[in-house]
Chain A
Amino acid sequence: EVQLVESGGGLVQPGRSLRLSCTASGFTFGDYAMSWVRQAPGKGLEWVGFIRGKAYGGTTEYAASVKGRFTISRDDSKSIAYLQMNSLKTEDTAVFYCTRVGSQLLEYFDYWGQGTLVTVSS
């Protein structure tokens, strides 16, 4: 059974950093791209970014709203994807979901974690 478990959320002050982790199980992690999607309170879904698998160079793509501030990485030996968030803003407050990308070059999201809440506030 595919499982994605996010951790690392919490309350952080504006301008500070936070790192989220997504621990995966139930599939061969290295064979899949992984993505992060967020949802601000009461709002819709917003794609944050993704990282391709090693076979596709482990390259990353980001939404314009987070580019230059957020970095996605992966440790295939541990089946963990990370989201490093720097220079956080109040508008980054959201539930962050880790998702598995259905296919390396077809980036829909077939499995979702339960999400972790990040609150950016002074």
Chain B
Amino acid sequence: DIQMTQSPSSLSASVGDRVTITCRASQGISNYLAWYQQKPGKVPKLLIYAASTLQSGVPSRFSGSGSGTDFTLTISSLQPEDVATYYCQKYNSAPLTFGPGTKVDIK
């Protein structure tokens, strides 16, 4: 099975900073990758699918890129409401594996 890893596992940044989270697949998955945001105590929310397509209603400061095995989620200007754990998920085929998550908070 394909394994998903994320780095870093956590980060702390200032409001307005550019934040980048990396997700890596152990084998190529083309662009079959989604990103989710889970705020503390809340339900996960889809941010991006097909590696770079922004889900409707998601702020444009979020963007995704990558293909094959290496992917990134970028927050162009971190806001206080972006404090959350971010998960990547591959969906090229079952099993549909999530990454372990990256916790983002404000410095």
A-side residues, CB < 8 A to B, are 35, 37, 44-47, 50, 61-64, 97, 102, 106-115
State how many residues of chain B have any CB contact under 8 Å with chain A.
Answer: 24
Contact sample, A vs B, 26 pairs, CB 8 Å cutoff: A44-B85, A44-B98, A44-B99, A45-B38, A45-B89, A45-B98, A46-B98, A47-B89, A47-B96, A50-B94, A64-B1, A64-B95, A102-B49, A106-B32, A106-B49, A106-B91, A107-B91, A107-B96, A108-B34, A108-B46, A108-B91, A109-B44, A111-B46, A113-B43, A114-B43, A115-B43
Residues of B within 8 A of A111 (CB): 46
B residues engaging A (CB < 8 A)? 1, 32, 34, 36, 38, 43-46, 49-50, 55, 85, 87, 89, 91, 94-101
A97 touches B55 (CB 8 A): no
B95 interface neighbour in A47, A108, A109, Cβ under 8 Å: A47
Q: How far is the CA of A97 from the CA of B38 in the complex (A)?
A: 13
Query: Which of B44, B97, B99 has the most chain A CB atoms closer than 10 A to its own CB?
Result: B44
Name the contact of A44 in the complex, choosing from B1, B55, B96, B100 (C-beta under 8 A): B100
